[in-house]
Chains A and B, each alone.
Chain A
């Protein structure tokens, strides 16, 4: 049996761990609130954007744009969005597993896969595969549209130069505070039907006056649309990350409490055993003196 002192110091250690996990839980909760707020703010923008895109793409034929062009798929690029930090349960592991599965199935079809990693976790996980074309880390905290634009431009450039024929996103979707799921989405070529599907185009809206021409507006809108998609994925991942960390840290705090409870039992038992032994000694000594 462990000595009294050992058990006591162990209880102290576990208590400190519990303090840390509790603090991390609260920090994650506060950050989650911020991230959720940002998602909410962004939602109205994204919705209006999609509506306008739907109106526009229904008004014109979409084959004419390089960003929408469907080619024979030989090279696939996957944008993997993960968090920068760990200690958030299996959140990142799920995303990575999904990405890995996707890579395996694409390679089985004889396609070449390259990766663009957003977030440290994904970047370090896939580093050894040698498939990473570009990595963007330490962006999650700041949330600038600017970051999303850099990434979107990079991917678009690669797509337009013909180095990739298809781009997909793998990221963590925020369902609720308790549930986050990895999700996969087609990114490029941009498909007008997925865009238009979000909005039933009312014919009563009538013909719009476009300034400049629809084609030129599309030229501006398509890159913007990519920004919106990337930014959206980043927001989702960040909210999911904090939610996942919150529940992971909650679990950890509870586990700490359980350990403290059982350790305290052991401690008390050992203490009692010690007292009993001492009493026996005294009684034995007194007996011997008689």
Chain B
């Protein structure tokens, strides 16, 4: 794999990642998608989820929340509201958040409150993505 992609993950709090990578997998609008070098120009919205990128055999993961990404000329730019590394994630807190979100979701479903439901769903997704990222961080 001679050619590389330049990956940049930028949040309102500054750049989180800026490096050359081989492959990126991200949670796009229509599901997970992967980007390799020489990808066609591409623009997609990003959902809450797990972003994975690989350089050689080294794999790293990030938890990202909503935003969008742009691919052009072997440059891949993610503009997301927040991005967290596995090492920054407080597993216990994420666990608690997950339980709380599940409870709220159940309540909202019972009362058919649409607003609360979407919010609880988003919170649940964030918590679950955090847990997934934290889990993958461990073995390495």
Interface residues of A (CB under 8 A from B): 38, 40-42, 44-45, 48-49, 52, 55-56, 145, 205-212, 216-217, 220-221, 224, 228, 231
Contacts and interface: CB of A to CB of B under 8 A. Distances in A.
Given A41-B13, A52-B77, A224-B68, 9 more contacts: A40-B14, A41-B12, A45-B14, A52-B68, A52-B79, A145-B81, A208-B41, A208-B42, A211-B43
Contacts of B68: 52, 217, 220-221, 224
Nearest to A219: B45
B131 to A, nearest CB: 22
A138 B10 CA distance: 27
B77 A48 contact: yes
Given A205-B41, A221-B68, A211 B12 contact: no
B28 A211 contact: yes
Contacts of A210: 42-44
B30 A212 contact: yes
A48 B79 contact: yes
Contacts of B72: 205, 208
Contacts of B81: 145
B45 A206 contact: no
Nearest to B78: A48
B10 A217 contact: no
Contacts of B28: 211
B24 to A, nearest CB: 15
A120 B67 CA distance: 31
Given A49-B79, A52-B70, A211-B29, A217 B12 contact: no
B43 A209 contact: yes
Contacts of A145: 12, 81-82
B interface, over-half SS = strand
A56 B72 CA distance: 13
B43 A55 contact: yes
A52 B43 contact: yes
Contacts of A231: 12
A56 B77 CA distance: 15
A231 B81 CA distance: 12
B14 A211 contact: no
Contacts of B42: 208-211
B106 interface: no
15 contacts: A40-B14, A44-B10, A52-B68, A52-B77, A55-B43, A145-B82, A206-B41, A209-B43, A211-B42, A211-B43, A211-B45, A212-B44, A217-B44, A217-B68, A220-B68
Contacts of A56: 43
A35 B40 CA distance: 38
A206 B30 CA distance: 22
Nearest to B14: A41
B11 interface: yes
A231 B13 CA distance: 11
Nearest to B46: A220
Given A48-B79, A52-B70, A221-B68, A211 B10 contact: no
